[in-house]
Chains A and B, each alone.
Chain A
Amino acid sequence: MAKFLSRYFNAVFGLSILVVIGLVALFAPHIAPYEADRIFAGPRLSPPSAAYPFGTDALGRDMFSRVVHGARLTAYVGTIALVIGLGAGAVVGLAAGYSRTWLRGFLMRVIDLLYSFPGLLIALALVAFIGPSLENAMIAVGISTIPFFARVTYSVVIVERAKPYFDSGRVIGAGSLRLMVFYLLPNVLPALIVVGSLGFSTAILAAAGLSFLGLGAQPPAPEWGALLADGRSYMTNAPWLMIFPGLSIFLVVLAFNLVGDAMSEHFDPRQRWKR
């Protein structure tokens, strides 16, 4: 047990943070002493105290309750953005990697084109186009990560496609769809799980960034990025308004990165024997 812990310390640490945050998100209404946007729950701009562990904001809202409720939004944003990005990226990458016709070149050039823009820029442009809201921010972040997931999927697919088992599938007469779904997909899945867990943190960070710019969650939604933006005007005299949401984002991203790293090590046999 001690050996296991020392070997997988990072993973266990990251996973515990995720479990705690997950539980907080799940039971937010029971944990938070107030509703997220209950104004004058306490005095205005009071520093952290026993009654208000994270302090209060300019409208006297309890920051602890806001951050706790914000965990739900964060989980929601991360999940939806990941489903869009990973889902569409995997489909494109699979199709491009499988195809040996013009389709491969076409899909990959489109992906390369999108990949040459910073992801956040694409997300910004999309939100500017479809209008600022939390839902649109999730969609935009999701779409902006498609090129990354498509590239990763593609690179794994072309490796798997060259293995003899793929040919043995062709020899027995398996069709394109079957080859993609039963032969390639299950064998690229481990890689997708790894990049997915890393992508989750990217998505959360990007969505928080959009909210911070006012293009994501709209007031009074307690999304962590939006909380940061709200607290900015009081940064010098009420720093707790930024510290706690900022710390929360930091912890979630750190946790996902730790878990993702541990998984990529675990799935890479060359790294597994290193220690």
Chain B
Amino acid sequence: MTQAVLEVRGIVKHFQTRGGAIARAVNGVSFDLAKGETLGLIGESGCGKSTLARVLARLDTPDTGEVLLDGNDIGRIGNRAMKPIRRRIQMIFQDAVSSLNPRATAGAAVAEPLKLHRVVPRNKVKDRVAELFEAVGLPVGLMSRYPHEMSGGQCQRLSIARAISLDPDIIIADEAVSALDVSIKAQVINLLMDVQTRLGLSYVFITHDMALVGVLSHRIAVMYLGRFVEVGDADAIIRRPMHPYSQALIAASPIPDPDRPRTQALPIKGELPSPIKPPSGCTFHPRCPLAQARCKSEVPELRTTGEARQVACHFA
């Protein structure tokens, strides 16, 4: 594997709720992201995926831990120092339409980052915007449209154009295609993959669509209650998940692959516990079909089992 562009070390992000309780949204997450790699991040709603995404895109600062971009910690640097780094990490949001300024035309939305970072000389901005429109398959005629005058798919293409205009190294896609129709979804995914091969980008791709994550990612990280419970090669995890939570998650999702062996996981019961009062020991133990006394007291560390696979379970 090539050198890591992004190294994430022990990210913790807690939020104080109104009542003064502390929600442990992200509770010690570490991983590496190689150049040109896609890391698929899966997990239930509320497991901390989006908070992690916001920390990686530096919309939030981590409480502790480091986000190393080429070895330099960007986790807590100020806004001014952050500006040149913004060029390198971009983010695409779930709701395409509302992630665009309602009062800016499509052309202006793409021109803005170009001007802001002086990517091209001022008189070339227009040409570059047209190129980017073409690159994401948007008709140039849409340039004077406002977001509400365009479809969800077009808006998401526009967001992609805006993100790649800065020629970033990393794009964080937080449920970037979840809200799109199936046919549009396929087009946008193809576009994302196409852009990746052309520009050599790395993606952190957050989704709860198991079929999608298998197609798109090189590696998968399964997140549960603010922690990674399993990380490894995408195909390997989809075919043979090792953590009971991953097993349940994958068994529960329809994956259109006839060759895939049927996983014999027992269905998990109950709801995701509140991150305000996470269970003791292994946070998954109240729902785990394999849970034993040890799981209640001892936190399983994420440890390497077999090649390129890390699992946080006492029995894996």
A→B interface (CB under 8 Å): 163-165, 167-176, 178, 182-183, 186-187
Tell me if A165 and B102 are in contact (CB < 8 A).
Answer: yes
Q: Which residue of A lies closest to B165 (CB)?
A: A172
**Interface contact A165-B113, CB-CB below 8 Å:** no
Q: A174-B112, A174-B116, A186-B103 in contact; A168/B159 too (CB < 8 A)?
A: yes
A182 & B86 in contact (Cβ 8 Å cutoff)? no
- Evaluate whether A168 and B162 lie within 8 angstroms (CB atoms) in the complex, with A173-B83, A174-B116, A175-B79 already known: yes
Contact B99 A164 (CB under 8 A): yes
Can you name 16 extra interface pairs (CB under 8 A) apart from A164-B94, A164-B95? Answer: A165-B98, A165-B101, A167-B99, A168-B101, A168-B159, A169-B101, A170-B59, A171-B57, A171-B91, A172-B90, A172-B116, A172-B162, A175-B83, A182-B112, A187-B101, A187-B102
**Does A173 contact B95, Cβ atoms closer than 8 Å?**
no
- Write the nearest CB–CB distance from B79 to chain A, whole angstroms: 7
Q: Is the CB of B104 within 8 A of A163?
A: no
Q: Are A182 and B104 in contact (CB under 8 A)?
A: yes
Is B117's CB under 8 angstroms from A165's CB? no
User: Main SS of the interface on chain A?
Assistant: helix
Number of residues on chain B facing chain A (CB within 8 A): 28
Please name the residue on chain B nearest to A171 by beta carbon: B91
A163 touches B59 (CB 8 A): no
Complex CA gap A169/B112 in Å reads 9
Query: In the complex, are the beta carbons of B83 and A171 less than 8 A apart?
Result: no
A170 to B162, CA, bound (A): 13
Question: Is B42 interfacial (CB 8 A cutoff)?
Answer: no
Contact indicator A172/B166 (Cβ below 8 Å): yes
Given A170-B59, A172-B113, A174-B116, residue A163 in contact with residue B98 (CB < 8 A)? yes
Shortest A191–chain B CB gap in Å is 13
Give the CA-CA distance A167 to B89 in the complex, in Å: 13
Counting from the closest, the 9 A-B pairs by CB-CB distance are A173-B86, A186-B103, A164-B99, A172-B113, A164-B93, A173-B83, A165-B101, A171-B91, A168-B99
A182 to B101, CA, bound (A): 9
Complex interface: chain B residues within 8 A of A182 (CB): 101, 104, 112
Instruction: Select from chain A the residue with minimum beta-carbon distance to B117.
Output: A173
Cβ-based interface call for B87 (8 A): yes
Contact between B90 and A171, CB atoms less than 8 A apart:
yes
16 A-B interface contacts by CB (under 8 A) = A164-B93, A165-B102, A167-B54, A167-B59, A168-B100, A168-B162, A169-B101, A170-B59, A171-B90, A171-B91, A172-B166, A173-B87, A174-B116, A175-B83, A182-B104, A187-B102
A170 neighbours in B (Cβ, 8 Å): 59
Nearest residue (CB) in A for B91 is A171
Chain B residues lying within 8 Å of A183, measured Cβ to Cβ, are 101
Q: In the complex, how many angstroms separate the beta carbon of A172 from the nearest chain B beta carbon?
A: 4
The residue in chain A whose Cβ has the minimal distance to the Cβ of B159 is A168
Q: Chain B's nearest CB lies how many Å from the CB of A179?
A: 10
Contacts of B112 in A (CB 8 A): 172, 174, 182
Do the beta carbons of B91 and A168 come within 8 Å of each other? yes
Q: Which residues of A contact B90 (CB under 8 A)?
A: 171-172
Interfacial chain A residues near B87, Cβ < 8 Å: 173
B-side contacts of A164, CB under 8 Å: 93-95, 98-99
Of all chain B residues, which has the CB nearest A183?
B101
Q: Once the chains are docked, how many angstroms separate the CA of A172 from the CA of B87?
A: 7
A164 and B116 CA atoms in complex are apart in Å by: 19
* Bound form: Cα–Cα A169–B104 in Å: 11
CB within 8 Å of A: which of B91-127? 91, 93-95, 98-104, 112-113, 116-117
Residue on A nearest B113 in the bound complex, by CB: A172
Chain A positions within 8 Å of B86 at CB level: 171-173
In the complex, residue of chain B having the shortest beta-carbon distance to the beta carbon of A172: B113
